Amino acid sequence: MDAGANFYQRVYQVLAAIPRGCVSTYGDIAMLAGSPCAARQVGGVLKHLPEGSKLPWHRVVNRNGQISLTGPDLSRQREALIAEGIDVSHEGKISLSRYRWKI
DNA sequence: AGCGTGACTCCTC
DNA sequence: AGAGGAGCCACGC
């Protein structure tokens, strides 16, 4: 990880490193990006993410294992997670203890 | 250079 | 148990 890289760039790296079929939380990504308390900023990064991006932004959920998004984007992320084999049928909640990615 | 904002998180009532 | 408020960091204006 390059020290000269911006926070956004680091988030991209961490995001791309999340294995398929796993999820991560904003707080974890922020910590891995070098700023343990910048969870909100992680959301800002994903929001700025272009639609054509190959980054698995859908593998990012909040601390509760739920999608913090609202509206159609929420459904899209949920569908993407299901497509990766992640079970979100449990009231839209994901079992972090089972799918959460940790180094 | 300073203020406001947010796809978060934690603590308290 | 559920709702509300404060704290935190990086970025845009």
The C-alpha angle with vertex A12 and arms to A6 and A13, in degrees rounded to 5, equals 95
Q: Beta carbon of A46 within 7 Å of strand C? A: no
CATH topology for A7-99? Arc Repressor Mutant, subunit A (1.10.10)
Per-residue confidence (pLDDT) for residue A64, from 0 to 100: 94
Q: Residue A3 — very low, low, confident or very high, per pLDDT cuts 50/70/90?
A: low
The bases of strand C with some atom under 7 A from any protein CB are 7-11
pLDDT tens readout for residues A6-19: 999 999 999 999 99
Q: Residue A91 — very low, low, confident or very high, per pLDDT cuts 50/70/90?
A: confident
CA of A40 to C1' of C10 (A): 9
CA of A4 to C1' of C3 (A): 42
pLDDT tens readout for residues A37-63: 999 999 999 999 988 899 999 999 999
Tell me the domain boundaries of chain A: 7-99
Contacts of A22 (CB under 8 A, 6+ apart): A59, A99, A100, A101
Q: Beta carbon of A6 within 7 Å of strand C? A: yes
